[in-house]
Structure 1
Amino acid sequence: MSSRDPFQSYTWKSDIFSCDSNDISTFYARLNEQVTRLGLLERKLGDAGRYPLNLYQSPAQKSGQPSLLISAGFHGEEAAGPWGLLHFLNELEPELFQQINLSLLPLVNPTGFKRGHRFNQLGENPNRGFVLDNGRGKSNDDTSAEGKVLLEHSQLLQAASKDGILTCHEDVLLTDTYIYSFEANQNPGPFSKHLRDTLGQFFPIAQDGEIDDCPVRDGIIFNHFDLSFEAFLVRLGASVGVCSETPGKQNLDQRILANSAIMQAFIDQVNARQ
């Protein structure tokens, strides 16, 4: 499989948002509108270049409700995740917060996003180097500046993702879709299959074989523990985890709608499990 060039720039046009995929000022302006409308709590974790790395949480988090974390924008050329999260927020009604505690990391790698390339402005991969050592987060030589910020707040993120972590990625080399999923089972259960099928409504599901040296079966790479953010949070105790992979060779707006749909499906499935 051909490898991704971390500094090749990818941009597309979105008709849904009437802008280019790397239009970061429009992205943040639209995000702020939704944060205000929904009354989300904004918490600055640190900085990513000259941009803040913020966590947003639903107001009045309640101890009896499931706590879910949705994250996007770890890789700058995977634009449909952050825009999909914005689309999801546009459709969201605040009544949902009576059922779940929702936390959001909408754009982890803004410097890569703005340039349309995979790595951050320092040439680091923000989805590597999440080490768990004696129950605590620890960085290694692969940990990015953004990763270090997230690791500093690993207890907060552990609580936020207790009942599930969804992180939205894309694969710019593919026309098919697949997911990584984590469940405390030997095989993928209804949760994983439902999320795969949600993406399958938008794109063909990847054939069995290998993607990035991982075995994919029925569109699912199952319980693959690497040093990614989502695997780290599952190790820390998140009861389920999913990393969605929409195909970058397909239409951007279709990918945005697919990301928005899997966010809703993730919440519905975790609610159904409770």
Structure 2
Amino acid sequence: MAAIRKFMQDIFSISAQKRFFLCALGEVDGRQIWLVRSRSNAEHSDPKMLVVAGFHGEEKAGPYAILKWMKNCDQQTLRKVDLSFIPIVNPIGFAKNMRYAIPGEKTNCGFCHPERGEVASREGKILITNIDLLKPLAEDGFLSLHEDIRENAFYLYTFEKSKKPGAFTTGIREELGKHFRKALDGVHVEIDASDGSATGPIVKDGVVFRHCDGSFEDWMFHLGVPRAVVTETPGLYRLKRRIDAGASVIDKFIALNLELGRKPE
């Protein structure tokens, strides 16, 4: 519990220093889910991007990567783009170092594709309730920082309007490749909780492209966000390297969206 208190104290402190704006989206068991914004309103034409982390409580590098990026960000970047962050989607899981706040209540599913029969978690329902706020904040791009704690290789899920991975996917993949020796390839990337068997999509050269699974990133893409990416850093590496990788991915994500702009891909 002390870790999340210290983390949020740091978020509040940096937000005050850098003049970020904070908004509570809702709470689960007394723990609030916070939105951090670089600007107080979205009534402008600058690119808008949303970065989230902490869907799964044991995946620590993502939230700390956001914290590191906020500490080191420069005003020049903030003048170019409207950035928003949800540093911890699942604060109960983070506090308890557990994947889900309630065992078996999956945090990142049930947002779309009702034919899958999945139901949104309490955290997910808070995101759904706030979608009219969140969708415009991701108008130009969405990034979700995840980890695969079983792996020593990285991979990513990406969504682009093209039929095959484009410059956005390639750029994020190359950025992760600067921090980790290899990309996962040719294997299933999901585990069946009932028996531990490998299921789900097969990753190809570090990339799972346009995988429709009812996740938040899948939903954001269906809602019209032009580019979305989920990074899966390898949890068998040291935490510091994973944090550094996440912070550099945020920089690359911003740069790629600025470069690609709103032109058709």
TM-score (norm 1): 0.86
**Mapped partners of 1:208, 1:88: distance in 2:** 32
Map 1:88-127; keep pairs closer than 5 Å.
88-121=69-102, 123-127=104-108
Give, in angstroms, the shift of residue 132 of structure 1: 6.6
**Mapped partners of 2:75, 2:32: distance in 1:** 25
What is the match of residue 246 of structure 2?
259
Give, in angstroms, the shift of residue 82 of structure 1: 0.2
Contact 1:67 1:160 in 2 (8 A): yes
What is the match of residue 30 of structure 2?
50
Say which SS state the counterpart of residue 207 (structure 1) adopts.
coil
The yes-or-no answer on 1:232 pairing with 2:213 is no
2:172 to 195, 198, 204: 195
**Mapped partners of 1:209, 1:123: distance in 2:** 24
Map 1:1-274; keep pairs closer than 5 Å.
23-60=3-40, 61-121=42-102, 123-131=104-112, 142-203=119-180, 204-212=182-190, 213-274=200-261
Give, in angstroms, the shift of residue 121 of structure 1: 3.9
Say which SS state the counterpart of residue 88 (structure 2) adopts.
coil
**Mapped partners of 1:270, 1:141: distance in 2:** 32
Give, in angstroms, the shift of residue 210 of structure 1: 2.4
Report Cα offsets for 1:219-270 as digits up to 9, x if no partner: 1100111111111111111010000000111111111111111111100100
Contiguous gaps of at least 5 residues in structure 2: 191-199
Contact 1:187 1:222 in 2 (8 A): yes
Say which SS state the counterpart of residue 198 (structure 1) adopts.
helix
> Aligned pairs, how many?
248
Say which SS state the counterpart of residue 23 (structure 1) adopts.
helix
Report Cα offsets for 1:59-108 as digits up to 9, x if no partner: 25452111100000000011000011101111101332221111110001
Partner amino acid, structure 1, of 2:106: N
Say which SS state the counterpart of residue 85 (structure 1) adopts.
helix
Contact 1:68 1:101 in 2 (8 A): yes
**Mapped partners of 2:105, 2:18: distance in 1:** 33
| Runs of 4 or more consecutive aligned structure 1 residues displaced over 6 Å after TM superposition | none
Contact 2:57 2:99 in 1 (8 A): yes
Say which SS state the counterpart of residue 212 (structure 2) adopts.
coil
Contact 2:54 2:146 in 1 (8 A): yes
**Mapped partners of 1:132, 1:233: distance in 2:** 12
Give, in angstroms, the shift of residue 191 of structure 1: 1.0
Contact 1:177 1:219 in 2 (8 A): yes
TM-score (norm 2): 0.89
Say which SS state the counterpart of residue 26 (structure 1) adopts.
helix
Partner amino acid, structure 2, of 1:179: L
**Mapped partners of 1:29, 1:43: distance in 2:** 15
Say which SS state the counterpart of residue 49 (structure 2) adopts.
strand
**Mapped partners of 1:97, 1:36: distance in 2:** 15
